[in-house]
Amino acid sequence: MLKAPGIFSFTPTTGRVGTSVTISGSGFTGATAVAFNGVSASFTVSSDTAIQTAVPAGATTGPLSVTTSGGTANSANAFTC
């Protein structure tokens, strides 16, 4: 069975379109999607525990999500746009 991803934290916690964001967690290897409150973002998986992304155009305040073949993780806290 595949391990579900988990989001532990992200920095910064607020930013405008284009702001670089680091998501920390686990199970990120093979991630297929990252979203800011449902708005898809481009991203790079740095390691199994870190993803680099940027706030996409159209993003609104809400949770971040990371999707892998093991499932989708949503952040407990909201990213503020």
Q: What is the pLDDT of residues 28-73, one digit of tens each?
A: 999 999 999 999 999 999 999 999 999 999 999 999 999 999 999 9
pLDDT band for position 1 (cuts 50, 70, 90):
low
Structure tokens at 30: 């093979």
Instruction: Give the residue from 65, 3, 56, 8 showing the smallest Cα distance to 29.
Output: 3
Q: What is 6-74's CATH number?
A: 2.60.40.10
pLDDT band for position 3 (cuts 50, 70, 90):
confident
